């Protein structure tokens, strides 16, 4: 492979910069990239020990983001290494490529992040339809599982608490103050009635229930804002 072609591949596939690309071709309607890992060492995920002793080799197929609207897959040859730490529970481990692979993953990290954004924006069914058009088809349940697997970001101090009757109806029933206890469990507000986690929000409600009134009975002084656009 010439220097110009190698440079072009680094620009088009930056996530493959740490592997050697052997070939790129068409198979049916998809693009197949064959690559191998060449790093001389790998670190054990169990103890962090760096190892250079190769145990075996095997192939992984990773779904990747589309190339010119075509489904793309990477056939990657990876290695298992011995862990030489006698105190480690792992005797062998599979190498992972930074910014490319993750444990038990069947897609690249690039595609994983892209699908997570689709799932967050559109959810299951609508997201599934979009991924088909993006040539990275996955099912709606898979998109929802991606959302559940994501790390929950830190929640900033709450100033406004929105209560949706429809979404929380099974929680609210005749005691809409139960919503506040759900929020308390999710974001760790501490004592709802006082202390460092004292909740002094404005509660957005619709005109069907007096959520702000219920909140006042739970946490005291709370402002209510009626959402009339439902």
pLDDT of residue 162: 59
Q: Which of 203, 219, 199 lies closest to 211, judged by CA? A: 203
Q: How is 150-218 classified by DSSP, letter by letter?
A: SPPPPP---SEEE--HHHHHHHHTT-TTHHHHHHHHHHT---TTSSTT---PEEEEETTS-HHHHHHHH
Tokens representing 115 are 């699908």
Cα–Cα distance for residue pair 24/63, rounded to 1 Å: 14
**In the block, residue with structure tokens 């058009």:** 133
Residues in the chain: 230
Each domain of the chain, given as residue ranges in start order, spans 3-103, 108-151, 160-227
Q: What is the pLDDT of residue 197?
A: 41
pTM: 0.67
Look at the block and give the residue holding tokens 């490319």: 100
Under a CB-based contact definition with an 8 Å cutoff, are residues 106 and 68 in contact? Answer: no
Would you give per-residue pLDDT tens digits along the chain (230 residues)? 566 666 777 788 889 989 999 999 999 889 999 999 989 999 999 999 999 999 999 999 999 999 999 999 999 999 999 999 999 999 999 999 999 999 999 999 999 999 999 999 999 999 999 999 999 999 999 999 999 998 877 766 655 555 555 444 444 333 444 444 444 444 444 444 444 444 444 444 444 455 556 555 555 555 554 444 44
Burial label, 28 (beta-carbon count in 10 A; 0-12, 13-18, 19+): exposed
Cβ count near 58 (within 10 Å) = 10
pLDDT at residue number 175:
42
Q: Output the pLDDT for position 6.
A: 67
Quote the DSSP letter at residue 107.
B
């Amino acid at each position: 492979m010439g220097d110009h072609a190698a440079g072009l591949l680094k620009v088009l596939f930056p996530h493959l910069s740490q592997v050697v690309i052997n070939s790129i071709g068409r198979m049916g309607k998809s693009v197949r990239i064959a690559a191998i890992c060449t790093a001389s060492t790998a670190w054990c995920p169990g103890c962090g020990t760096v190892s250079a002793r190769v145990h075996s080799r095997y192939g992984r197929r990773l779904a990747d983001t589309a190339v010119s609207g075509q489904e793309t897959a990477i056939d990657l040859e990876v290695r298992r290494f011995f862990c030489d730490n006698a105190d480690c529970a792992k005797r062998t481990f599979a190498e992972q490529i930074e910014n490319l692979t993750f444990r038990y993953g069947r897609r690249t990290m690039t595609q994983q992040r892209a699908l997570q954004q689709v799932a967050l924006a559109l959810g299951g069914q609508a997201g599934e339809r979009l991924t088909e058009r993006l040539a990275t088809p996955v099912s709606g349940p898979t998109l929802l599982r991606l959302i559940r697997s994501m790390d929950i970001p830190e929640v900033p101090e709450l100033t406004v608490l929105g209560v949706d009757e429809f979404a929380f109806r099974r929680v609210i029933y005749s005691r809409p103050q139960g919503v506040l206890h759900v929020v308390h469990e999710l974001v760790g507000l501490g004592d709802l009635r006082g202390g460092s986690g004292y909740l002094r929000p404005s509660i957005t409600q619709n005109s069907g229930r007096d959520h702000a009134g219920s909140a006042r009975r739970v946490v005291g002084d709370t402002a209510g804002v009626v959402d009339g656009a439902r």
